[in-house]
Amino acid sequence: MVDPNHEITADDRPPFRPGRPQARWGFPLLVGALLVAAGALYYFWPRPELRPATPVPELKQPAAQADAEPRIEHPLQAPTAPPASPLPELAESDTAVHEALASLVGNATLEQLLQPQGMVRRAVATIDNLPRKTVAQRVLPFKPVPGPFRTTGPEGNVVVAADNAARYTPYVRAFEALDSAKLVTIYVHFYPLFQQSYAELGYPARYFNDRVFEVIDNLLATPEVSGPIVLRQPKVLYEYADPALQDLSAGQKMLLRMGPENEARVKAKLREFKRALTRGL
């Protein structure tokens, strides 16, 4: 059972990979994609009032073994031209990242959807945790989805209401409207900060871009459920009655929670991103 109010899980530009040369192509910013899914997490469950979120989350994971460095599967090509402006320090990057994303979706949309503090760290922590069983509520990069989680049916046969999916539609539309090429440019420009944040989580020898690929594949493997999804409520919080659905990753549950139409639209955009990644858009 997932309790959204309780944490369960856990200028020199930083190189793209410490001690390793950069190679060939890439992009990902799935960051937009994966963050859209992340916005739904703690709106599935009934909950008491939340305390203010920590502005800049700090998640610690067991450090990877330095002598067991994995091979880079999806290396990014370092920019051939110097950036128009130097990268800010990670702790001071919110303004620059905000301005870059606002150029894609507009400032009003960005203000409505995203948490303004710790944007890179929130994105990295959330993306890294999507294939796991839980995501800590305090690191989610999105502001609350409007309205309560909607159910219907008599006691003992409660299901997710059909109109619950409408709460997530604005997020899905914003995600679909992203310009992939421009998103790639932003991601590549800020990639050293994403890599630095990933190392801070406890993965100094791992490559964040590879983790993005893993997350895409996990989300695309989300089952497509036809018909109402039955819930059970053993105590205070809802769970999926089907053990197979309850055992899904946090990211897969998020997609499932958005309803079949929204899930299909998000998956289509994820496939588009993955094609761009593999051909080096």
User: What pLDDT, in 10s, does the model give residues 75-116?
Assistant: 887 666 666 778 999 999 999 999 999 998 888 888 888 888
Q: Is residue 140 part of a domain?
A: yes
Q: Is residue 12 part of a domain?
A: no
Q: Is residue 233 part of a domain?
A: yes
Mean pLDDT of 221-225: 96
Buried b (16+ CB within 10 A) or exposed e, 21-55: eeeebbbbbbbbbbbbbbbbbbbbbebeeeeeeee
Which of the four pLDDT bands, split at 50, 70 and 90, describes residue 140? confident
Which of the four pLDDT bands, split at 50, 70 and 90, describes residue 208? very high
CA 150 remoteness from chain centre: 23
DSSP string, 177-203: T--HHHHHHHHHHHHHHHHHHHHHTT-
Structural domain including 263 reads 31-279
Count of the separate structural domains present in the chain: 1
pLDDT of the residue at 235: 85
| Pairing verdict, β 159-160 and 151-152 | antiparallel
Whether the pLDDT of residue 229 is over 50: the answer is yes
Q: Is residue 255 part of a domain?
A: yes
Whether the pLDDT of residue 45 is over 50: the answer is no
Question: What does the block give as tokens for 187?
Answer: 């991601």
Using only the alpha carbons of the chain, give its radius of gyration: 19
Q: Is residue 19 part of a domain?
A: no
Half-sphere exposure in the Cβ direction for 23 (13 Å, CA)? 9
Mean pLDDT of 142-154: 87
pLDDT of the residue at 142: 84
pLDDT of the residue at 247: 97
Q: Is residue 107 part of a domain?
A: yes
Q: Is residue 11 part of a domain?
A: no
Q: Is residue 7 part of a domain?
A: no
Task: Name, in order, each residue with C-beta under 8 angstroms of 160's C-beta and a sequence gap of 6 or more.
Answer: 150, 151, 228, 229, 231, 257
Q: What is the DSSP letter of 205?
A: T
Secondary structure (3-state) at 79: coil
Mean pLDDT of 225-240: 90
Tell me what the pLDDT averaged over the chain comes to. 78
Alpha helices in 31-179, H assignment, sequence order: 31-38, 94-105, 107-113, 119-129, 169-176
29/27 Cα distance (integer angstroms): 6
Mean pLDDT of 252-270: 94
pLDDT of the residue at 279: 66
Q: Using alpha carbons, list the distances in angstroms from residue 268 to 49, 125, 151, 212.
A: 35, 24, 27, 16
